């Protein structure tokens, strides 16, 4: 069965969208993701700018302004919906893992 578009997000995709809950420029997105995860997630420039372009084309983010040669972006309502759906999917995976690994009974 074919996956529907953005049914699941990669880790860089998730953190780019999460970073754009607030308006940020590209380099600010890379810094925020790294700071938020204690350096565990490092998004490279090539990956970042490819994702920004894709997300903008898909209507998940919008470019808000250009200042000092920096493009600023933020989530759209559709982008927030995709991000929240991924958050819920990840939360369900963690709950499943807790059931198995911690010996808890299944709901």
- Each residue of 3-43: pLDDT tens digit? 346 678 999 999 999 999 999 999 999 999 999 999 999 99
Q: Two tokens at 106? A: 């299944």
Look at residue 92 and tell me whether its pLDDT is greater than 50. yes
Q: Is the pTM above the cut of 0.85?
A: yes
Q: Two tokens at 56? A: 């903008």
Let me know: does 39 contact 25? Beta carbons within 8 Å.
no
DSSP E strands, the chain: 24-25, 61-67, 70-75
Residue-wise pLDDT for 42-86, tens only, equals: 999 999 999 999 999 999 999 999 999 999 999 999 999 999 999
**Residue 5's pLDDT is what?**
62
């Amino acid at each position: 069965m074919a996956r529907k578009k953005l049914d699941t997000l990669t880790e860089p995709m998730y953190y780019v969208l999460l970073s754009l809950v607030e308006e940020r420029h590209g380099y600010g997105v890379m810094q925020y993701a790294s700071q938020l995860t204690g350096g565990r997630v490092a998004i490279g420039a090539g990956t970042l700018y490819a994702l920004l372009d894709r997300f903008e084309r898909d209507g998940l983010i919008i470019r808000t302004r250009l200042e000092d040669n920096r493009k600023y972006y933020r989530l759209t309502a559709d982008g927030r919906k995709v991000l929240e759906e991924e958050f819920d999917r990840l939360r369900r995976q963690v709950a499943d893992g807790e059931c198995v690994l911690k010996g808890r009974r299944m709901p």
